[in-house]
Amino acid sequence: MTRSSKRSRSSWGDGSGTAEAGSPIPEDKRYFRIGEVSRIVGVEPYVLRYWEGEFPRVRPARADSNQRTYQRKDLELLLEIKRLLYEERLTIKGARKRLQSWRPPEAEPSRVSRPDLDEIRRELHDLLRILS
């Protein structure tokens, strides 16, 4: 192989330039750096940075070293964005609209906070008004 035909392989393994999803979100960690998030979500870091500009809810905190630090809720949101864009084939605008009502899955589904119950009650009353 000549020097010009050699291609450097990315750390993602196949050299295609795309990250492979498959890493579950570790239960024992609270904060994640962009490289870890990239591996977990399965997209390159530049895609995550692009999504920050396109989706207002994606706002990772910054560490003292000015590095992005993502929390579990951020990863769940990013996984949902990826699902909407890659599996449901929505546009950025369509995904943004769909995310307006999206909430991350609760760790313990049996617990419903009081504000959530009040919101559900209001929505049910609105539905009754519409139906009657």
pTM here is 0.63
CB 69 within 8 A of CB 53: no
CATH number of the 13-105 domain: 1.10.1660.10
Strand partners, 17: none
Listed by start position, the domains of the chain span: 13-105
Residue 85 pLDDT more than 70? Answer: yes
Task: Name the residue with higher pLDDT: 16 or 108.
Answer: 108
How large is the average pLDDT for residues 57-79?
Answer: 92
**What three-state secondary structure class fits 98?**
helix
